[in-house]
Amino acid sequence: MTASRDKIYNGLKHRVAVTGMGIITTLGAGKKKNLSGILEGQNAIKEITSFDVSGYRSKIGGAISNFNFSKKLKQLQSSRLDRATKLLLTALDEAVAEAGFANGLPSHTPLILGTTLGGMLSGEAYHRNVVFGKKAKPSLLLDYLAHYQAIHIAEEYGLHGAAFTISNACASGTNAIGLAYHEIGAGNVEIALAGGYDTMCEFTFAGFNSLQALTQTLCRPFDKNRDGLVLGEGAGIIVLEELSHAVSRNANILTEIIGYGESSDAFHITRPDPSGDGAALAISRALDSAGVNASAIDYINAHGTGTPYNDVMEAKAIQKVFGSASKNIPLSSVKSMIGHLLGGAGAVEAIITIMAMNKGVLPPNINYETPDPDCPLNIVERLGQKAFIKRAMSNSFGFGGANAALVFQNTNV
CB of 74 to another protein, least distance (A): 12
Residue span binding another protein (CB under 8 A) among the ranges 26-34, 35-43, 205-213, 346-354: 205-213
Binding to another protein by residue 268, rule CB under 8 A? yes
How far is C-alpha 328 from the chain's CA centre?
24
Shortest approach of another protein to residue 240 CB, angstroms? 15
Q: Which of 78, 211, 252, 413 binds another protein (CB under 8 A)?
A: 211
- In angstroms, what is the minimal distance from the CB of 100 to another protein? 23
Asked if 141 touches another protein (CB under 8 A), the answer is yes
Close Cβ partners of 269 (under 8 Å, ≥ 6 residues apart): 399, 400
Question: Of these, 64, 99, 166, 345, which contacts another protein (CB under 8 A)?
Answer: 166
Compute CA distances 321 → 171, 263, 273, 275, 288, whole Å: 19, 14, 16, 13, 11
One residue of 159, 218, 300, 337 binding another protein per CB under 8 A: 159
Our CB check for another protein shows the closer of 11 and 373 to be 11
User: Which region among 161-169, 291-299, 318-326, 331-339 touches another protein (by CB under 8 A)?
Assistant: 161-169
Which span (59-67, 254-262, 309-317, 389-397) binds another protein, by CB under 8 A? 254-262
Is 278 a residue that touches another protein (CB under 8 A)?
A: yes
Secondary structure (H, E, C), the chain: CCCCCCCCCCCCCCCEEEEEEEEEECCEECHHHHHHHHHCCCCCCEECCCCCCCCCCCCEEECCCCCCCCCCCCCCCHHHCCHHHHHHHHHHHHHHHHCCCCCCCCCCCCEEEEECCCCHHHHHHHHHHHHCCCCCCCHHHHHHCCCHHHHHHHHHHCCCCCEEEECCHHHHHHHHHHHHHHHHHCCCCCEEEEEEEECCCHHHHHHHHHCCCECCCCCCCCECCCCCECEECEEEEEEEEEHHHHHHCCCCCCEEEEEEEEEECCCCCCCCCCCCHHHHHHHHHHHHHHCCCHHHCCEEECCCCCCHHHHHHHHHHHHHHHHHHHHCCEEECCHHHHCECHHHHHHHHHHHHHHHHHHCECCCCCCCCCECCCCCCEECCCCCCECCCCEEEEEEEEHHHEEEEEEEECCCC
Residue 303 catalytic?
Answer: yes
Q: Catalytic: which of 14, 152, 182, 340?
A: 340
Shortest separation between residue 156's beta carbon and another protein, angstroms: 11
> Is residue 313 a contact point for another protein (CB under 8 A)?
no
Member of 4, 6, 11, 68 binding another protein (CB under 8 A):
11
Q: Does the protein bind another protein through residue 179 (CB under 8 A)?
A: yes
Q: Does 121 bind another protein (CB under 8 A)?
A: no
Give 196 or 330: the residue with its C-beta nearer to another protein.
196
Q: Which of 14, 170, 201, 219 is catalytic?
A: 170
For another protein, which residue of 37, 123, 232, 272 counts as binding (CB under 8 A)?
A: 123
**Cα separation, 249 vs 273, whole angstroms:** 45
207 binds another protein (CB under 8 A): yes
Among 155, 247, 359, 411, binds another protein (CB under 8 A): 155
Instruction: Report CA 48 to chain centroid distance, whole Å.
Output: 21
Q: Is 122 in the site for another protein (CB under 8 A)?
A: no
Q: Which of 270, 293, 378, 411 binds another protein (CB under 8 A)?
A: 270
Question: In the annotation, is 340 catalytic?
Answer: yes
Q: One symbol per residue from 39 to 58: x for binding another protein (CB under 8 A), - otherwise; what is it?
A: ----------------xx--
Q: Which stretch binds another protein (CB under 8 A): 140-148, 243-251, 322-330, 346-354?
A: 140-148
* CA–CA gap between residue 355 and residue 22 (Å, rounded): 11
| 142 versus 247: smaller Cβ distance to another protein | 142
Give CA–CA dist 173/352, Å, rounded: 13
Interface with another protein: number of residues (CB under 8 A):
71
Given the complex with another protein, which of 143 and 223 has the nearer CB atom?
143
The answer to whether 246 contacts another protein (rule: CB under 8 A) is no
Number of other CB atoms surrounding residue 252 within 10 Å: 12
Taking the least distance from each CB to another protein, the nearer of 162 and 356 is 162
Within 101-120, the residues that bind another protein by CB under 8 A are 115-118
Q: What are the catalytic residues? A: 170, 303, 340
